[in-house]
């Protein structure tokens, strides 16, 4: 245990050699609290990412379902990959259209239907079907 405390103390710049037992316990408690906060923050970020991925997936399925006039439950997700695009076209610009010129983060999805696989790019607020289906 003391060896771990020494390693941590080197990182935070506190020498454990000159610490009293009370100050050592206080340092251990502070390190434990810092670790808990780091883990909690990490979990919160993961939950936010999962929520955004689910929202993007739901919107992508709904958009494709509307286009094909099928039920969203008839669409399977083959893959989902985090993606960043340079503008609001989400990587699938249509001729004659103008798009917001800001970086957009979302997901590139491959969705499978009875008619084939479709590439759909989506954020939590927008989804675009990219090209024709592939077998």
Measured between its terminal Cα atoms, the distance across the chain in Å is: 59
Three-state DSSP at 103 gives: coil
Structure tokens at 107: 């997901």
- Residue 84 CA to residue 64 CA, distance in Å, equals 21
DSSP letters of 79-97?
EEEEEEESSTTTT---TT-
- Residue 120 CA to residue 92 CA, distance in Å, equals 9
Q: pLDDT tens, position by position, for the chain (135 residues)?
A: 556 556 555 655 555 555 566 666 666 666 555 555 444 444 445 567 899 999 999 999 999 999 999 999 999 999 999 999 999 999 999 999 999 999 999 999 999 999 999 999 999 999 999 999 998
- Residue 89 CA to residue 9 CA, distance in Å, equals 50
The pLDDT value given to residue 135: 83
The pLDDT value given to residue 22: 67
- Is residue 120 within 8 A of residue 130, CB to CB? The reply is yes
Three-state DSSP at 73 gives: helix
Strand order in the sheet with 116-122: 76-85, 104-113, 116-122, 127-134
The pLDDT value given to residue 34: 53
């Amino acid at each position: 245990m003391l060896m771990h405390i020494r390693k941590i103390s080197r990182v935070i710049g506190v020498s454990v050699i000159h610490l009293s037992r009370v100050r050592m316990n206080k340092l251990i408690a502070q390190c434990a609290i810092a670790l808990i906060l780091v883990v909690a923050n990490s979990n919160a970020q993961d939950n936010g990412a999962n929520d955004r991925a689910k929202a993007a997936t739901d919107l992508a399925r709904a958009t494709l379902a509307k286009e094909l006039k099928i039920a969203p439950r008839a669409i399977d997700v083959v893959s989902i990959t985090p993606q960043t695009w340079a503008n609001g076209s989400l990587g699938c610009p249509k001729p004659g259209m103008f798009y917001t010129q800001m970086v957009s983060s979302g997901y590139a999805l491959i969705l499978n239907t009875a008619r084939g696989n479709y590439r759909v790019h989506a954020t939590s607020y927008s989804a675009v079907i990219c090209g024709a289906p592939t077998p």
